[in-house]
Amino acid sequence: MTVKLLPAEYFLHTFQTQNPNDQEIISNIIEVFSLNKEQKRAFHIIANHASDINPQQLKMYLGGMGGTGKTQVIKALIAMFNQRQEIIGS
């Protein structure tokens, strides 16, 4: 098993995707879902990675106690992929 580190830029809220449309979708989703600081961090890591050209598979653990917003992040990601017309199976 090979582990590849993500670019540090993925973790910064100032990261800009190469596709301006993706950047607009990401910004809109964060606003619509009212993601808090920690939720934004998790969302940005995944969204930024997915917006990369030809990204490798991302394996990431999204954990936390009940009520921390894990489901909200997942709902935001589903909405993002739907807007990008990358429909996720139900």
Per-residue confidence in pLDDT tens, the chain, 90 aa: 777 777 777 666 677 777 889 889 999 999 999 999 999 999 998 998 888 888 888 888 999 999 999 999 999 999 999 999 987 665
Q: Tell me, yes or no, whether 5 lies in a domain.
A: no
Answer whether residue 7 is part of any domain.
no
Q: How far apart are CA 78 and CA 75, in angstroms?
A: 5
On whether residue 28 sits in a domain, the answer given is yes
pLDDT value of position 10: 67
Long-range contacts of 62-65 (CB under 8 A, 24+ apart): 64/38
Residue 36 located in a structural domain:
yes
Domain boundaries, position 71: 20-52+64-90
State the pLDDT at residue 32.
Answer: 97
Question: With a threshold of 0.85, does the pTM exceed it?
Answer: no
Residue 48's pLDDT is 87
Reading the block at residue 47, the tokens are: 């969204």
Count up the domains in the chain and report the number: 1
Closest listed residue to residue 14, CA positions, set 58, 34, 44? 44
Report H helices in the chain: 20-32, 37-51, 70-83
Residue 10 lies in a domain: no
* Structural domain contains residue 74: yes
Report yes or no on 57 lying in a domain.
no
Q: Which two tokens stand for residue 18?
A: 């190469």
Residue 34 counted as domain residue? yes
